[in-house]
Amino acid sequence: HPVGVLISGRGSNMAALVEASRSLDCPYTIAIVASDKPDAPGLAWAAEHGIVTFAQSPKGMPKVEYEAIIDAALRDAGAKTIALAGYMRLLSDAFVARWRGRIINIHPSLLPKYKGLDTHGRAIAAGDESAGCSVHIVTEELDGGAVLGQAEVPIEPGDTPERLAERVLEKEHILYPKVLAEFVTQ
């Protein structure tokens, strides 16, 4: 099952998906890694690891034109599912509708808590006992679609958002390949 991954930066979740895809019993392949940032470090990593890569900056063009280019790149690569992995741009309603139910995302909070940015800072400030990450279906509502899987991480006394983020990220790298594998086989 060919998957297209969209990234904007570091791409550590994308790398976890690529590495998992190379195990014998993995039900998905990474057909393409595409980025809105031509200089995203994750794009270089993917290319070095033999993955088809694509970059298109949205600068200086209408969003609909930018998304049509991304859409064409994904389709040309044969992608049947899209996995967002640190893709920092909101997809338009029209794009979401075209790929209805076939886009998933990983978000660093225990949804429905803390949609949007600064999830770990907000969890610490609220005095939560745990934080975590969620993989969910992408809908028109930001971080709002059905949750497919979660992993929980205890918040420690004196935790900083950075330290917590590191521990949650380790869980993300385990959760995302597992949930994606389940998602493409259901």
Decide: 74 and 34 in contact? Cβ < 8 Å.
yes
CA 56 to chain centre: 17
Cβ contacts of 149 within 8 Å, gap of 6 or more: 134, 135, 175, 178, 179, 182
Selected binder of ligand GRF within 3, 4, 6, 12 (CB under 6 A): 12
Torsion, CA 101, CA 104, CA 105, CA 111, rounded to 10 = 60
> Pattern of binders to ligand GRF over 165-184, x per CB under 6 A?
----x--x------------
**In the block, which residue shows the tokens 């309603």?**
93
Q: Is 136 a catalytic residue?
A: no
| CA–CA distance, 63 with 92 (Å, rounded to integer) | 8
**Binding residue (CB under 6 A) for ligand GRF from 33, 106, 124, 135:** 106
The active-site residue, picked from 107, 120, 136, 173, is 107
Site residues for ligand GRF, 118-137, by CB under 6 A, read 133
Nearer to ligand GRF, 85 or 179 (CB): 85
Euclidean distance between CA atoms 77 and 74, whole angstroms: 5
Q: CB neighbours (10 Å) of residue 128?
A: 17
Binding site, annotated residues:
11-13, 63, 88-91, 105
Rounded to the nearest whole angstrom, what is the least distance from the CB of residue 165 to ligand GRF in the complex?
7
Q: How far is the CB of 62 from ligand GRF (least distance, A)?
A: 25
Number of chain residues interacting with ligand GRF (CB under 6 A): 15
Give contact residues for ligand GRF (rule: CB under 6 A).
7, 9-13, 42, 85-86, 106-108, 133, 169, 172
Active site positions, annotated: 107
